[in-house]
């Protein structure tokens, strides 16, 4: 299954919409207007909270973001490396070992679960705001959308 995560051009709090291949909205991402930790919530189209994503408040050398389930239980920590030349990200605390493996200045990354490819993230090149294509099994899509948002939060934090 392919989904498209598109940040809105004008949005209070950096909201996004997630579309399926037929351009139907299937998830929405709500951001906070004033949030030091770039807090975002992934919801279905009925407004039911699926995941909360937020950055670590203070990052010295390694940047981190946290993913919480709908009951506010932390289920994963996403982190980069101190010198992240290869754009690698690691997921800790999740039930499986997950690694996001990219290349320097690459527009595509593989999501590996226990060493096996479980999905692909492609950054859309010609877009005013950040836009991503995510391809994975349908049952993994909601968590992987939260993972893409966490990585986007980390990269946005590194740029500021």
**Topology of 2-159 in CATH?**
Porin (2.40.160)
Q: Is residue 78 within 8 Å of 88, Cβ to Cβ?
A: no
Q: What is the mean pLDDT of residues 24-28?
A: 96
For residue 51, name the pLDDT band (cuts at 50, 70, 90). very high
pLDDT in tens, 67-111: 999 999 999 999 887 665 567 788 999 988 999 887 645 688 899
Q: Could you report how far apart the first and last alpha carbons of the chain are, in Å?
A: 33
Question: What does residue 150 show for φ and ψ, rounded to 5 degrees?
Answer: -65, -45
The structure's pTM equals 0.86
CA distances from 129 to 75, 94, 103, 153 (A): 28, 29, 21, 13
pLDDT at res. 104: 45
Question: What does residue 14 show for φ and ψ, rounded to 5 degrees?
Answer: 60, 55
CA atoms of 156 and 139, how far apart (whole Å): 28
Is residue 160 pLDDT above 60, yes or no?
A: no
The distance from CA 9 to its chain's CA centroid, rounded to whole angstroms, is 18
Domain ranges of the chain: 2-159
């Amino acid at each position: 299954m392919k989904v498209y995560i598109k940040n809105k051009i004008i949005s209070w709090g950096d909201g996004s919409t997630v579309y399926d291949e037929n351009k139907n909205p299937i998830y929405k991402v709500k951001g906070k207007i004033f949030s030091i930790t770039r807090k975002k919530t992934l919801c279905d189209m009925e407004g039911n909270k699926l995941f909360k994503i937020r950055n670590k408040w203070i990052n010295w050398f390694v940047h981190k973001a946290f993913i919480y389930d709908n009951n506010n239980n932390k289920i994963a920590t996403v982190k980069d490396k101190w010198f992240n030349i290869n754009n690698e990200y690691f997921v800790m605390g999740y039930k499986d070992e997950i690694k996001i493996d990219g290349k320097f200045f690459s527009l595509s990354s593989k999501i590996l679960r226990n060493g096996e490819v479980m999905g692909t993230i492609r950054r859309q090149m010609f877009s005013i705001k950040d836009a991503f294509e995510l391809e994975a099994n349908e049952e993994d899509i909601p968590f992987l959308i939260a993972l893409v948002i966490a990585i986007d939060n980390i990269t946005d934090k590194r740029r500021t």
